[in-house]
């Protein structure tokens, strides 16, 4: 059935708590060669406990095997394609890792004096410059820890600029094709959210738009390309309309991997945008992360960027805290430094040519998948796709097979599922983003799998509805898990 390898070792694995037995330990410490300190005296009686109840006790080999076995239940970009639309699960090149493990970078401490870490500061300065050049913006802050954090920082910058002009205004406009985090960002930053409906091409309706931009509107938050994978072709006109009313244009740059090296949001009139280094710039997601969500701004917003800012003083990099208009810190220290090293390594390894080629290949791959699957799956929006394409389960739903079922069945074919039921404006959405990382062979295997599942949905829908069949755990009860979550393990009895 499948031409892909399977990653699951079918072996039960107890929890560390269940493997524990009293007195076991992973290491033996040598005798103290300094005077012993009584922790009760040093920290105070109340802050010291003799025993942690239920704390697991195991040997080193048991712990190593436990986690290694667990890792075999996982699916990873190093095993195969991860077509999770909107998440941009591209390969994390080993060159990035080599750079991040250089001793002076890996062991640098944020409290080291500036003159000892000039290399680290130079890396951050160069990354700021590179990101500004790639996006067509004037200044960049590397502090935000991930995309949504970058959004919040960006909207706080807009609020600060407008407040300095006398009125922070009340509302943020957000199209229904934007990333789901955008409305939350606007609300947390103290704005009211007004949703804008997309037109039938999946874009902002230019006819209706000017009347929505009232004196109350602080900014529009636009995701471009949007969550349908469609490029908002009128972005420059949208920026003009906003600017003419004293409002700003925020761009969610999570989909920058469809633009890098080809077009620059700054040139289209975008005032603020955030980037996801863990998407466009190939740093790891999730467990391999953390993320990083730099914010890029135009000149007029620069005074408001988080402190401290890098500043050249007599041929050295210094941290400048004397920024009276700054919104303040948004993150301890200077951002997730290890991620910044990886992103700069990727940018330098690719060069301008390479970044452009990655973008073009990402778009080509998405369109290859779209073309190949169009005869089998419903494609609700026919506008040209950028880096991802969105199908709906409409045809399969007639046989009682929904997007979630098809996603689960993909696991049996050796692939990570695509993004299920998002964007919300497409009922039964199946959002596929192959990225530029995939070879033609891997893309063809994915397409074969999707076509086979479309056939199964007609001929044997029950097989799809009850998938996955090849994993150690089959379909889990997501509803009960969400309604009655068990948040921690407790010993039985």
Q: In the complex, which residues of this chain contact other proteins (CB under 8 A)?
A: 180, 183, 193, 420-422, 424, 427, 478-479, 482-483
Nearer to other proteins, 477 or 492 (CB): 477
Q: Comparing C-alpha atoms, which of 280, 274, 281, 318 is closest to residue 296? A: 274
Between CA 185 and CA 179 the distance in angstroms is 11
Nearer to other proteins, 426 or 449 (CB): 426
> What single DSSP character describes residue 420?
E
Nearer to other proteins, 89 or 420 (CB): 420
> What single DSSP character describes residue 26?
S
> What single DSSP character describes residue 250?
E
Between CA 144 and CA 357 the distance in angstroms is 28
Please enumerate in sequence order all residues whose Cβ is within 8 A of that of 365, keeping only pairs 6 or more positions apart, or say none.
434, 435, 436, 438, 443
Exposure string (b/e) for 285-296, b if CB count within 10 Å is 16 or more?
beeebbbbbbbb
Taking the complex as a whole, the smallest distance from the CB of residue 476 to other proteins amounts, in Å, to 11
Taking the complex as a whole, the smallest distance from the CB of residue 420 to other proteins amounts, in Å, to 8
Taking the complex as a whole, the smallest distance from the CB of residue 408 to other proteins amounts, in Å, to 13
Q: Tokens 């005032």 sit at which residue?
A: 271
Taking the complex as a whole, the smallest distance from the CB of residue 103 to other proteins amounts, in Å, to 44
Taking the complex as a whole, the smallest distance from the CB of residue 188 to other proteins amounts, in Å, to 14
Question: What are the residues facing 430 on neighbouring strands?
Answer: 391, 420
Angle between helices 337-373 and 440-459 (to 10 degrees): 50
**Phi/psi of residue 313, nearest 5 degrees:** -130, 115
Taking the complex as a whole, the smallest distance from the CB of residue 193 to other proteins amounts, in Å, to 8
Nearer to other proteins, 105 or 421 (CB): 421
Between CA 426 and CA 390 the distance in angstroms is 8
Q: Comparing C-alpha atoms, which of 103, 100, 111, 221 is closest to residue 158? A: 221
Taking the complex as a whole, the smallest distance from the CB of residue 212 to other proteins amounts, in Å, to 14
Nearer to other proteins, 135 or 181 (CB): 181
Nearer to other proteins, 72 or 199 (CB): 199
CB atoms within 10 A of CB 412: 22
Taking the complex as a whole, the smallest distance from the CB of residue 194 to other proteins amounts, in Å, to 10
Q: Round to the nearest angstrom and report the end-to-end CA distance of the chain.
A: 45
Nearer to other proteins, 97 or 176 (CB): 176
Q: Which long-range contacts (CB under 8 A, 24 or more apart) does 480-489 make?
A: 489/15, 489/17
Taking the complex as a whole, the smallest distance from the CB of residue 191 to other proteins amounts, in Å, to 13
Nearer to other proteins, 183 or 210 (CB): 183
Taking the complex as a whole, the smallest distance from the CB of residue 392 to other proteins amounts, in Å, to 11
Nearer to other proteins, 231 or 377 (CB): 377
Taking the complex as a whole, the smallest distance from the CB of residue 464 to other proteins amounts, in Å, to 17
Between CA 129 and CA 138 the distance in angstroms is 9
Nearer to other proteins, 337 or 391 (CB): 391
CB atoms within 10 A of CB 404: 18
Between CA 339 and CA 343 the distance in angstroms is 6
Between CA 368 and CA 360 the distance in angstroms is 12
Nearer to other proteins, 39 or 427 (CB): 427
Between CA 329 and CA 454 the distance in angstroms is 51
Nearer to other proteins, 183 or 308 (CB): 183
Exposure string (b/e) for 250-283, b if CB count within 10 Å is 16 or more?
bbbbbbbbbbbbeebbbebbbbbbbbbbbbbbbb
Taking the complex as a whole, the smallest distance from the CB of residue 432 to other proteins amounts, in Å, to 17
């Amino acid at each position: 059935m499948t031409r892909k390898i399977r990653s699951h070792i079918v072996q039960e694995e107890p929890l560390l708590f269940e493997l524990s037995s009293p007195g076991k330990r992973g290491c033996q410490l040598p005798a103290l060669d300094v005077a012993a300190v009584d922790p009760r005296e040093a920290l105070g009686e109340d802050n010291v406990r003799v025993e942690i109840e239920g704390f697991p006790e195991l040997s080193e080999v048991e712990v190593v095997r436990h986690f290694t076995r667990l890792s075999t239940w996982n699916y990873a970009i190093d095993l195969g394609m991860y077509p999770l639309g909107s998440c941009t699960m591209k390969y994390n090149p080993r060159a990035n890792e080599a750079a991040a493990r250089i001793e002076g970078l890996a062991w640098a401490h944020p409290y080291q004096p500036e003159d000892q870490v000039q290399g680290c500061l130079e890396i951050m300065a160069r990354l700021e410059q590179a990101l500004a050049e790639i996006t067509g913006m004037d200044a960049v802050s590397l502090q935000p820890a991930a995309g949504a954090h970058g959004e919040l920082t960006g909207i706080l910058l807009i609020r600060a600029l407008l407040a300095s002009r006398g009125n922070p205004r009340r509302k943020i406009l957000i199209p229904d094709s934007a990333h789901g985090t955008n409305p939350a960002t606007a609300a947390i930053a103290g704005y009211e959210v007004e949703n804008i409906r997309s037109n039938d091409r999946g874009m902002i309706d230019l006819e209706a738009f000017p009347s929505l931009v009232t004196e109350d509107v602080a900014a529009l938050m636009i995701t471009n390309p949007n969550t349908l994978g469609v490029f908002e072709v009128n972005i420059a006109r949208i920026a003009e309309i906003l600017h003419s009313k004293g409002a700003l244009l925020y761009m969610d740059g999570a989909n920058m991997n469809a633009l890098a090296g080809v077009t620059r949001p700054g040139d289209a009139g975008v005032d603020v945008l955030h980037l996801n280094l863990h998407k466009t710039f190939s740093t790891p997601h999730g467990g391999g992360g953390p993320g990083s969500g730099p914010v890029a701004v135009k000149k007029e917003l620069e005074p408001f960027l988080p402190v401290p800012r890098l500043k050249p003083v007599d041929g050295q990099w210094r941290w400048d805290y004397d920024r009276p208009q700054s919104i303040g810190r948004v993150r301890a220290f200077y951002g997730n430094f290890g991620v910044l090293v990886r992103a700069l390594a990727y940018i330098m390894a690719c060069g301008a040519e390479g970044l452009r080629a990655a973008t073009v290949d990402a778009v080509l791959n998405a369109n290859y998948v779209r073309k190949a699957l169009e005869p089998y799956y419903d494609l609700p929006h026919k506008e040209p796709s950028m880096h991802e394409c969105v199908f709906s389960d409409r045809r399969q739903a007639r046989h009682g097979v929904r997007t979630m079922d098809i996603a689960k069945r993909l696991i049996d074919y050796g692939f990570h599922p695509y993004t299920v039921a998002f964007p919300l404006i497409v009922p039964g959405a199946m959002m596929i983003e192959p990225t530029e990382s995939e070879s033609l062979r891997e893309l063809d295997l994915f397409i074969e799998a999707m076509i086979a599942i479309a056939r199964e949905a007609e001929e044997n829908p029950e097989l799809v509805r009850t998938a996955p069949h090849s994993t150690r755990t089959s379909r889990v009860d997501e509803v009960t898990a969400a309604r009655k979550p068990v948040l921690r393990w407790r010993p039985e009895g």
